[in-house]
Amino acid sequence: MSRRSRRLIGGVVLGVAALIAIASAVRAQHQGHGPPPPAATPRTPAADGAGSRKVTMEDLHLSGGVPLGWKFALPSGDSAKGRQVFAELECFKCHVIQGESFPTSGGDAKNVGPELSGMGGVHPAEYFAESILSPNAVILDGPGFIGPDGKSIMPSYADSLSVVQLVDLVAFLKSLTSGGHEHGAAPSTKTEGDYTVRLEYRGGDQGPGDHGGHGGRAAPAGAPGHLMVFVSDRVTGEPVPYLPVTATIRAAGAPARVVKLSPMAGGQGFHYGANVALPAGAHTITLTIRPATMPVMDSARGRFAKPVTVVFER
């Protein structure tokens, strides 16, 4: 075999080896993008595709690696199994839950955390998950929350729980919607037209958009509270300003009241709000969102231009 032939064959071999190496690297790079094995998949209603959204790779790249308006949402869990996790971790030693049959806490009073009764209607699931995995991410300033070192007295369970256990435990905490920690009715969310609308009402002892009420004095009966309406773009999840928003409040035996809601910014973020006393007992709040008064670009032509009515039964 001539020297030239040997060089040619050697080049072909090296070329094939390089292609094999590149293919192997590509496969390794994309191994993490496929679906996880069934045993590692958390239980969630979206596992069968319900509630999912489709997006192209180009869209992901254009919006910074995530879908436009993306926000992490914790999968649904089993609250009964979450209660079992709560008991196995002996969380009852620091946290009281009214109506539950857990043993009475006998620990050091300085290390007793907040009561969890009614907490499920106050915080979103992701907040509970962060508090369990990274309790120092948000530190509440006050007795029963901070230790002598200035850090949260809540220990981290990041190395103690599986994903399924975490999801189930959060589901149990979200099921705690009655008891002594409620600040008013739990937030309600609906999607209508171009908007996702969340209605929230804070009792009369709290200022606009604030989350007070921890140990504060009780408000007199009938005292005005703060009605908050969060209106976001159902596609991007971003707040939508410059909307005329009114709330019509109806209750049996009382005349209907129409309240104009004003754009506001507070501890809860941008919202449309008003200080108003809601009727005791069952009542209906009808929100009317009229067309936006801001200019709408051609890329969103036809959106935010139709009036929307959203009815909340409370």
- Residues 29-62: tens digit of each pLDDT: 334 334 443 443 444 444 445 567 788 888 888 8
Distance, CA of 236 to CA of 195 (rounded, Å): 10
pLDDT recorded at residue 120 = 84
Please say whether the beta carbons of 178 and 122 come within 8 A: no
| Cα angle 80, 86, 87; round to 5 | 95
Please say whether the beta carbons of 164 and 119 come within 8 A: no
Q: If you write DSSP's letter for every residue of 220-272 in order, what string do you get?
A: PTT--EEEEEEEEETTT--B--S--EEEEEEETTEEEEEEEEEEEEETTEEEE
Q: DSSP letter at 282?
A: S
What confidence tens digit (pLDDT) does each residue in 248-269 have?
A: 999 988 899 999 999 998 877 8
* Residues carrying CATH 2.60.40.2480, the chain: 188-313
The dotted CATH code for 188-313 is: 2.60.40.2480
* Residues carrying CATH 1.10.760.10, the chain: 37-182
Contacts of 256 (CB under 8 A, 6+ apart): 248, 249, 250
Specify the DSSP element, H or E, that contains 14.
helix 3-30
CATH topology of domain 37-182: Cytochrome Bc1 Complex; Chain D, domain 2 (1.10.760)
What length is written for the chain? 314
- Look at residue 174 and tell me whether its pLDDT is greater than 50: yes
Please say whether the beta carbons of 306 and 290 come within 8 A: no
